[in-house]
Structures are given as C-alpha cells and as structure tokens.
C-alpha cells in the first residue's frame, strides 16, 4: 500500500515537473517571438498599434471624451476644436469618441471572424489531409471549392440578408466565407507533416488518431496559419466597414467605421473630416496588421533571421 502511494506521488511529481517545463518553454517562446518582431521596424510599429487598438477597444468607456451617441445639434458639422479634436458629425456627435468605439467593433469583428474561420478551417483541413484519398477528403475539398466559387463579399451579403444585420451575424457570415482559405493551408501542411518520422512513430506506438492529430500534427502546421491570421484580420475590417456602409453590418446608432463612412460621404464637400478620420483609421489598421504579419513571418523564418 505504501509503495503504491509512493509510486503515485512520484508520477504526480513527474507530471508537475513536465507541466512546469512546458510552461517555461511556452513563455520563452513567446518572449522570443516578441523580441524577434520588435527587431523589425515595421513589426514593432504593427505590434504597438495592435496592442493599442486592443486596449482602446477594452477601455473605450474610459478613454472616450464623450458618449459616442450624444448629440449636440448646435455644434453639428463643427470642425476640429479643442473640445472636439476631430470635429463633429451631422448630428453633433463627437467623431473622436465614435472612432474609439468603432475600434471596439473593428476589433471584435476581426478577431472573432478570423478565430472562428481559422478554427473551422484548420479542423476540416487537418482531418481531410490525414485521411487523404478517402471519400471524406473529397467531400471536404468539395465544400471548400463550392464556398470559394462564390465571391466572398457576395456570399457574405447573402448570408447576412438571410440572418439579418447584427454584429454576431456579421462575424458568422465573414467566418463562413473565409474558412476554406485556412482549410486548404491546413490540408496541404498536413499532407507533409503526416509523413514525418515522429508522426509515424506515434502511430506505431498505438496512439489514437485524435491524439496524433491534436498533439503532433496541428502544433506543427500552425506557423503559416498564424502568419495568415494577421493579414486576414485587416481584410475582415475592410469587409466589416464595407458591409456596414451598405447597411448590412452593425445597426445604427452603434459607432462603426463603416457607418461613419456612410454618414460622411454625403457631406464630403462641406465636412470632409467626417469621412477622413474613419478612412484614416481603417487605412492605419490595415497597414499595422500587414507590418505585424510581415515581422512575424520574418521572425519565424530561419533564413530571414540570418540576414
């Protein structure tokens, strides 16, 4: 009895040590990635901008100088002043406050839709690649081809028209139209990784297919997928702005960069700041995500690190 407890204690101790070692490795890996990205000028700018964007989205109520929907009819169409740094719109709402709250919508849509589409696409792509040549593989490829055959914006418009315009439906629509992109990458990477010696050894040891897939294949195919995530987030922000501009995104009076563009283009000749600031926010965000993705790619590429 005593020896049995002793063995269990030793096993528990070994498991705890392995968990601690794994945590240290993960922390060191993250630190190394951050340092690598920071070494590239573009990557550093992109990383700082994205962190600032996330913090702005989280603390929008504390950063915003005004309520984004508070109207001041007397001061409508006001240009930039000390009270309204970016001016006011046609209802007298503070544009800076609406830009800040619009950042929250852009962050939720970009991170939500990309995360959902990547999760669905990677799972489907890995399962298809692992069962290469089977009917399941052909069925998954058929789904990818059918979705890709439609223009993404048109398909997203159709989905939102059926589900109705809302923030949640917008995220779902963008995810359902972009998951084949990640699925194809995951399938191609799986076809290569599954022939590796460590995968063959795991299968020879009798590990279950689920464990082989989730423990040995997926962790080793994430690099190109993570790089694509950053680039795709900028695209999702553009789609959100475009769909909101058409009235199929979030519902007014919710502050959204797309809705601000919709409201501003009517007064572009008399109040150009109404359309300039949301357009500038979208452009800056796209550039930041592109630079961050490029810096991330260089950090993960051994050839780039040697330069």
Structure tokens at 16: 């705890």
Give the range with max mean pLDDT: 32-36, 240-244, 248-252. 240-244
Query: Average pLDDT, whole number, for the chain?
Result: 81
* Percent of the chain surpassing pLDDT 90: 18
- Mean pLDDT over 161-180 rounds to 88
Does residue 26 have a pLDDT over 70? no
**pLDDT digits over 95-151, tens only?**
999 999 999 999 999 899 999 999 999 999 999 888 888 888 899 999 999 999 888
Give 256-260 contacts, CB < 8 A, sequence gap 24+. 256/102, 256/105, 256/106, 257/99, 257/102, 257/105, 257/106, 257/281, 257/282, 259/102, 260/89, 260/95, 260/98, 260/99, 260/102
Average pLDDT estimate for 51-72: 89
* pLDDT band at residue 224 using 50, 70 and 90 as cut-offs: confident
Tell me what pLDDT residue 157 has. Answer: 87
């Amino acid at each position: 009895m005593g020896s049995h407890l002793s063995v269990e204690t030793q096993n528990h101790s070994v498991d705890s040590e392995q968990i601690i070692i794994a945590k240290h490795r993960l922390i060191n890996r993250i630190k190394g990635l951050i340092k690598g990205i920071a070494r590239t000028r573009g990557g550093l700018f992109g990383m700082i901008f994205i962190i600032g964007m996330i913090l702005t989205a989280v603390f929008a109520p504390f950063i915003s100088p005004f309520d984004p929907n508070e109207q001041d009819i007397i001061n409508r169409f006001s240009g930039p002043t000390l009270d309204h740094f970016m001016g006011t719109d046609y209802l007298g709402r503070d544009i800076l406050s609406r830009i800040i709250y619009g950042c929250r919508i852009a962050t939720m849509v970009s991170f939500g839709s990309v995360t959902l589409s990547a999760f669905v696409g990677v799972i489907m792509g890995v399962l298809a690649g692992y069962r290469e040549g089977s009917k399941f593989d052909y069925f998954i490829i058929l789904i990818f081809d059918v979705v890709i055959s439609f223009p993404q914006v048109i398909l997203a418009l159709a989905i939102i028209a059926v589900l109705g315009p809302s923030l949640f439906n917008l995220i779902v629509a963008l995810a359902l139209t972009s998951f084949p992109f990640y699925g194809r990458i995951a399938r191609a990477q799986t076809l290569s990784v599954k022939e590796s010696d460590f995968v063959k050894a795991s299968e020879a040891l009798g590990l279950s297919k689920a464990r082989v897939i989730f423990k040995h294949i997926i962790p080793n195919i994430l690099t190109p997928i993570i790089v694509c995530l950053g680039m795709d987030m900028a695209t999702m922000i553009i789609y959100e702005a475009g769909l909101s501009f058409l009235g199929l995104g979030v519902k007014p009076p919710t502050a959204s960069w797309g809705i601000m563009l919709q409201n501003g283009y009517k007064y572009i000749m008399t109040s150009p700041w109404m359309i300039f600031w949301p357009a500038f926010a979208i452009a800056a965000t796209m550039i930041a995500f592109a630079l961050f993705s490029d810096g991330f790619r260089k950090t993960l590429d051994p050839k780039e690190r040697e330069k």
